[in-house]
Amino acid sequence: FQPLTRRSFLSGTAAAGAVILLHPFSARAQANQAHLRIMETTDIHVNVLPYDYYGDKPNDTMGLSRTATLIDAVRKEATNAMLVDNGDFLQGNPMGDFVAYERGMKEGDLHPVVKAMNLLGYDASTLGNHEFNYGLPFLRRSIAGANFPYVNANVYVDDKDKDSASAKHAFTPYVLLDRMVKDAQGKSYPIKVGVIGFVPPQIMQWDKANLEGRVVTRDIAEVAKKYVPEMRAKGAQLVIAIPHSGFEKGEVGALAENAVSRLADVPGIDAILFGHSHAEFPSKAFATFPRADVERGTINGVAAVMPGRWGDHLGVVDFTLDNGSGSWKVVGSQSSIRPIFDRVAKKSIAEADPLVEKTVGEEHAQT
């Protein structure tokens, strides 16, 4: 079938066979219930455009401009939706190197990836390990231009003091976002959504020259155990973790790079929107992992998703929330990933969003 253009979505003249259906969680919500879907992108690695800079040719298996078309569609299927990014957006292709090493980021400059993300209505993002590759001043100037918050809870300022109680966070550890959710009867109620982010502690080795003496890192799960209860105590009705960290099959220990299995043990987290491994969860690849349910998309019963890399998938966690008690609670979830490319038919299933493409057109040409 012909993929829809952004224009046809916006004008509501969807082509035959591409009618937008309301998701079952939205259609089936009972009185006092609401359908909230959380979307995730991860490991974009500067791939805003579906373009292979090494081959100097288009590549329709990648690119945030194509994921953007899925984001539009997925939003339209649900009564309520939010969007987060898991990090590793700043480095990874020649456009990233061009901005870092040739053009530079002066105070007030907008990074092309951040410009593109600003168009898509992100609610929050976190920092991946590659965000540290060009140094802290470059990172800070890049994220300063975002119209959404960046959260990281396990990087602290190195205060040269072993008294950990006084340590300061290097970034905003978490946010409590006030949103409205519309229930089955069309009435809107406030919800407080907590979003917390983490990075592999190994950035201290991988980017030693940029970070030593400036920041220190702590264990992802230990930091979560401290802050998730704090977020709940401050009124978070839904807690979303965005660890830039993968899911390993075996046991992992303290300071693990891939800490998702340990994070799934921390009480109070409703969803783990993860990344870093460039893999796809839920999928058959994880079917034999202990405590993973690849049908529902959970790890230890916690809704979880990892949408590949370079924008090749959009991660989606669908929640049914219930407000019967006067406070929103999760009563059901389903996680899934949506591809931009059909690997069997070898066909694109998401056109590139022209507005997203246009916004980075100059930097693309310069690259």
Report, in Å, the least distance between residue 44 CB and Mn ion. Answer: 9
User: How many of the chain's residues bind Mn ion (CB under 5 A)?
Assistant: 2
Q: Which long-range contacts (CB under 8 A, 24 or more apart) does 8-15 make?
A: 9/69, 9/72, 9/73, 9/76
> At how many degrees (to 10) do helices 64-76 and 112-120 cross?
10
Shorter beta-carbon distance to Mn ion: residue 91 or 217:
91
In the chain, % helix, strand, coil (3-state, to 5) comes to 25, 25, 45
The tokens of 197 are what? 């982010």
- Beta bridge partners, 181, equal 189
CB neighbours of 309 closer than 8 A, spacing ≥ 6?
42, 43, 44, 45, 275, 278
Q: Which stretch binds Mg ion (CB under 5 A): 82-90, 188-196, 265-273, 333-341?
A: 82-90
Shorter beta-carbon distance to Mn ion: residue 43 or 60:
43
Phi, psi of 141 (to 5 degrees): -65, -35
Q: Work out whether strand 188-198 and strand 174-182 pair parallel, antiparallel, or are unpaired.
A: antiparallel
Q: Which residue, among 152, 180, 85, 79, has the nearest Cα to 123 in the 3D structure?
A: 85
Shorter beta-carbon distance to Mn ion: residue 199 or 236:
199
- CA–CA separation, 300 vs 261, rounded Å? 8
Shorter beta-carbon distance to Mg ion: residue 206 or 289:
206
- CA–CA separation, 46 vs 55, rounded Å? 16
The DSSP secondary-structure symbol of 129 reads: G
The tokens of 304 are what? 């979880």
Shorter beta-carbon distance to Mn ion: residue 37 or 45:
45
Residue nearest to Mg ion (CB): 276
Report, in Å, the least distance between residue 88 CB and Mg ion. Answer: 4
Report 110-169 residues binding Mg ion (CB under 5 A).
128-129
Report, in Å, the least distance between residue 244 CB and Mn ion. Answer: 8
Shorter beta-carbon distance to Mg ion: residue 9 or 274:
274
88 counts as binding Mg ion under rule CB under 5 A: yes
Shorter beta-carbon distance to Mg ion: residue 88 or 183:
88
Residue choice 141, 276, 309, 313 for contact with Mg ion (CB under 5 A): 276
- Beta bridge partners, 182, equal 188
207 counts as binding Mn ion under rule CB under 5 A: no
x/- string (CB under 5 A) for Mn ion, residues 76-95? ------------x-------
Q: How many residues does the chain have?
A: 367
**Residue 123 binds which one of Mn ion, Mg ion, none, with CB within 5 to 8 A depending on kind?**
none
**Residue 312 binds which one of Mg ion, Mn ion, none, with CB within 5 to 8 A depending on kind?**
none
43 counts as binding Mn ion under rule CB under 5 A: yes
Report, in Å, the least distance between residue 130 CB and Mg ion. Answer: 6
Report, in Å, the least distance between residue 133 CB and Mg ion. Answer: 10
Please tell me the number of Cα atoms within 13 Å of 159 on its side-chain side. Answer: 13
Q: Which stretch binds Mg ion (CB under 5 A): 75-83, 88-96, 170-178, 246-254?
A: 88-96
Phi, psi of 178 (to 5 degrees): -90, 115
Shorter beta-carbon distance to Mg ion: residue 128 or 201:
128
Enumerate binding residues for Mg ion (CB under 5 A). 88, 128-129, 276
Residue numbers at the binding site for Mn ion (CB under 5 A): 43, 88
